[in-house]
């Protein structure tokens, strides 16, 4: 092993939902930090391949794989696809970082939320990360790290988010248990909790509705709604060498929303 290889070891991150929004920002921020990326997408192959091209333009390698995090019956086959991609692209058997980011939004008051909506959120936001992480665990290097994406809505309450926030509360509890149980392998697990971000999430409500955007800005100490890169940079920071001793923590990145 050369001195340069020792100083800059190859690191690979798997980012779910990496073709758009916060996942795309995280994938690009990680690439800028010298990390190669496996990103997942549900259906838009063109968007996923565009992110792959952007990562490659930064001098890193990337692969896009299809995954529906709401369908746990596909996780074993997905793990096989990850194993094959690692062997073909990197000649490796394991990766280093897992970012459980993929998700969907729902804005519905408690009394109007249906069981079908609740089950959908449960499958995507809680059951999905739980069993996907379980299936991928044999492929994560000892000393690796996991970042689970939660929400500022687990700290403050805004009408219409009860089911979504309940799932994210479960994610935060799961993260602490991952940190506890995987510590023997040197794997750290943390939660990042974004505030309101200008993406296409929930139909682009924060990005495209001026009234909602202004309301969010008024709630936020830094005076604006968040941008995807505000979050991608924090995820990259949590996976950087300087954060190796951060474990079992909830890191809110909301610009000081409702403080």
Asked whether 105 and 202 are in contact (CB, 8 A), the reply is: yes
Query: How buried is 95 (Cβ within 10 angstroms: 0-12 exposed, 13-18 middle, 19+ buried)?
Result: buried
Output the six-digit token pair for 138: 């044999």
Query: How buried is 153 (Cβ within 10 angstroms: 0-12 exposed, 13-18 middle, 19+ buried)?
Result: buried
Give all strands (DSSP E) within the chain, no chain letters: 12-15, 36-41, 62-66, 95-100, 140-149, 188-194, 250-253
Q: Which of 41, 130, 164, 177 is catalytic?
A: 164
Angle (nearest 5°) at CA 158 between 156 and 160: 140
Rounded Cα distance between 86 and 54, Å, is 20
Residue 140, strand partner residues? 95
Rounded Cα distance between 156 and 47, Å, is 33
pLDDT of residue 4: 36
pLDDT of residue 74: 98
Output the six-digit token pair for 147: 């970042």
pLDDT of residue 7: 56
164 is catalytic: yes
Asked whether 24 and 18 are in contact (CB, 8 A), the reply is: yes
Output the six-digit token pair for 78: 């997905």
Angle (nearest 5°) at CA 141 between 22 and 19: 20
Q: What is the pLDDT along the chain (259 residues), one digit of tens a residue?
A: 333 334 579 999 999 999 999 999 999 999 999 999 999 999 999 999 999 999 999 999 999 999 999 999 999 999 999 999 999 999 999 999 999 999 999 999 999 999 999 999 999 999 999 999 999 999 999 999 999 999 999 999 999 999 999 999 999 999 999 999 999 999 999 999 999 999 877 667 888 888 889 999 999 999 999 999 999 999 999 999 999 999 999 999 999 999 9
pTM for the structure as a whole: 0.95
Strand order in the sheet with 188-194: 62-66, 36-41, 12-15, 95-100, 140-149, 188-194, 250-253
User: What SS3 state is found at 211?
Assistant: helix
Choosing among 3.40.50.720, 3.30.200.20, 3.90.1300.10, 3.90.600.10, the CATH entry for 9-251 is 3.40.50.720
Over residues 143-166, the pLDDT tens digits come to 999 999 999 999 999 999 999 999
The set of long-range contacts for 43-51, using a CB threshold of 8 Å and a minimum separation of 24, is 44/19, 44/20, 47/19, 47/20, 48/18, 48/19, 50/19, 51/18, 51/19, 51/24, 51/27
Other Cβ atoms less than 10 A from the Cβ of 142: the count is 11
Output the six-digit token pair for 115: 């069981």
Query: How buried is 137 (Cβ within 10 angstroms: 0-12 exposed, 13-18 middle, 19+ buried)?
Result: middle
Over residues 215-242, the pLDDT tens digits come to 999 999 999 999 999 999 999 999 999 9
């Amino acid at each position: 092993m050369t001195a340069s290889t020792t100083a800059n070891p190859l690191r690979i991150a798997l980012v779910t939902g990496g073709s758009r929004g916060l996942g795309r920002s995280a994938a690009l921020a990680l690439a800028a930090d010298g990390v190669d990326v496996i990103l997942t997408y549900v259906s838009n192959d063109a968007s996923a391949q565009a992110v792959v091209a952007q990562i490659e333009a930064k001098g890193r390698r990337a692969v896009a794989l299809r995954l529906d995090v709401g369908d746990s019956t596909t996780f074993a086959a997905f793990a096989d696809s990850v194993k094959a991609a690692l062997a073909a692209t990197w000649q490796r058997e394991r990766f280093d970082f897992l970012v459980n980011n993929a998700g969907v939004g729902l804005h519905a008051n408690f009394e109007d939320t249906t069981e079908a909506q609740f089950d959908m959120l449960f499958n995507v936001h809680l059951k999905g990360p739980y069993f996907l992480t379980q299936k991928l665990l044999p492929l994560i290097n000892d000393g690796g790290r996991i970042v689970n994406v939660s929400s500022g809505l687990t700290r403050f309450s805004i009408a219409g988010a009860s089911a979504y926030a309940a799932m994210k509360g479960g994610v935060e509890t799961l993260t602490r248990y991952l940190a506890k149980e995987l510590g023997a392998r040197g794997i750290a697990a943390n939660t990042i909790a974004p505030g309101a971000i200008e993406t296409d999430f929930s139909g682009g409500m924060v990005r495209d509705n001026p009234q909602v955007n202004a309301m969010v800005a008024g709630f936020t100490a830094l005076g604006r709604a968040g941008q995807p890169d505000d979050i991608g940079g924090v995820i990259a920071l949590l996976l950087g060498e300087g954060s190796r001793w951060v474990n079992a923590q909830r890191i809110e990145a909301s610009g000081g929303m409702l403080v």
